[in-house]
Structure 1
Amino acid sequence: MKKASILMILGPLFLLGLFFFPLWNIMLGAPQYPEPLGMNIHINGIRGASEFDIQNIDGLNHYIGMRKLPKPEEMWEFSTFPLIIGGMIALGVLIGMLGFFKKISYKWYMGWFVLMSVLGILGMYDFNAWMVDYGTNLDPNAIMKLANPDGTPMTYKPPLFGHAKMLNFDVTSLPSTGAWMMFIGMMLTVAAYFMGWKNNKSQKPKIN
């Protein structure tokens, strides 16, 4: 049980990477830009992949009526997500320590994983909803008003995951370092659960 508890303590600590590395990355490439433009989505704000990327993206968006990328104080998520992640780290470490001293069952490890998974899904849903609003709620007085072949206004929602073609831009949206660290940490908690389950099973008396 102690080895499982140590894994349970280590797993949530990997989520600390979210405070130092981006969670998600969106890159925009086009022939007129030798170096692609990019933005890194952190749990506390959006930053350019390079120094002037945010300014350049906002400049392009202005022509088609998209709003400027939000500053941290303009979205409640950027102040709430760090608190949620910090709380989940503290909770996970506490569960691991209580398991180490045999105060709780290994089943709590899976409980933490399920809760973290639910929060992750809700976070992705919220992120996608923001991108839908960001790419479809356009300024009717924009300099460029483009339409689809059927006459409906063109939208510019970036993909949540993968690649999409938007005008002459190739847009790629993928998890970044922070997301992969979170994934590794969550998998460690799953491993801790199964290790605890296996240890518990081996200690049960066998009936002849």
Structure 2
Amino acid sequence: MKKAGIIMIIGSLLLLGLFKFPLWNIMLGAPQYPEPLGMNIHITGIKGVSEFDIQNIDGLNHYIGMRTIPKAEDMWEFEVFPLVIGGMVALGAFIGLLGFFGKVNHWWFIGWFGLMSVLGIMGMYDFNLWLTDYGTNLDPNAIMKMTNPDGTPMSYKPPLLGYQKMLNFDVDSWPHIGAYLMFVGMLLTMIAFFVGKKEWKKKKRSFQSH
């Protein structure tokens, strides 16, 4: 399963892109900001798209009672996520190497894909919980208290995915380069499964004919 093993190794290694490129991006545009404010969410922390974006977003959030954007040391996720991704890269590359030498079959590839999918869903769920808490757990003594038509406090939760109008801000939340590299990497591991399945059957037939 040489070909499948190589594809598996390449797919796993693509996840290393998450250590350099952002996983997610949230942009806030408004008439008073000719250049939109933005946050890039990395697996190691949150950074502004431009130099003063985080500072400006925190300044706006102060008026409506939202907390400041957390630093890397404020969230356990930014310590755990790099370890999880690093571990999955090492595991995937090791499985690919074993596949290359014919020590494991194609089911190991799909097993890695399944585990990575579960971890990805858990990560997105956790990210959505943080966004909900960040946008709804407001300071009751805030300068501005905005309410919905029914009198309930307004939520400032950014969308997990897509576009949302929030007061006079246009908020966009989309995957970034790191997420696309992860998607391509996982797609390659799925391809490795099918290639490996074909190679395994061919090997089996060859063995039976002898």
Q: TM-score band (shorter)?
A: over 0.9
CA distance in 2, matches of 1:102, 1:197: 12
Question: What fraction of aligned residue pairs are identical, expressed as a percent?
Answer: 72
Q: Flag structure 2 segments of 5+ consecutive residues without an equivalent.
A: none
CA distance in 2, matches of 1:171, 1:201: 50
State how 1:36-47 maps to structure 2 within 5 Å: 36-47=36-47
The aligned counterpart of 1:169 is 169
Whichever residue aligns with residue 70 of structure 2, its letter is: P
1:198 Cα deviation after fit: 1.5
**Contact kept in structure 1, 2:105 and 2:200, CA below 8 Å:** no
Structure 2 length-normalised TM? 0.97
CA distance in 1, matches of 2:44, 2:199: 40
Whichever residue aligns with residue 128 of structure 1, its letter is: N
Tell me whether 1:159 sits opposite 2:159 in the alignment.
yes
1:204 Cα deviation after fit: 3.9
Deviation digits for residues 109-138 of structure 1 (CA, Å, limit 9, x no counterpart): 000000000000000000000000000000
**Matched residue SS, 1:147:** coil
The aligned counterpart of 1:64 is 64
CA distance in 1, matches of 2:68, 2:187: 37
Whichever residue aligns with residue 31 of structure 1, its letter is: P
Structure 1 length-normalised TM? 0.97
The aligned counterpart of 2:198 is 198
CA distance in 2, matches of 1:118, 1:90: 17
Q: Flag structure 1 segments of 5+ consecutive residues without an equivalent.
A: none
State how 1:1-208 maps to structure 2 within 5 Å: 1-205=1-205
Q: How well do the aligned residues superpose, as a CA RMSD in angstroms? A: 1.1
1:199 Cα deviation after fit: 1.8
Deviation digits for residues 76-109 of structure 1 (CA, Å, limit 9, x no counterpart): 0001100000000000000000111111111100
CA distance in 1, matches of 2:34, 2:109: 48
Whichever residue aligns with residue 103 of structure 2, its letter is: K
CA distance in 2, matches of 1:116, 1:93: 13
CA distance in 1, matches of 2:65, 2:204: 66
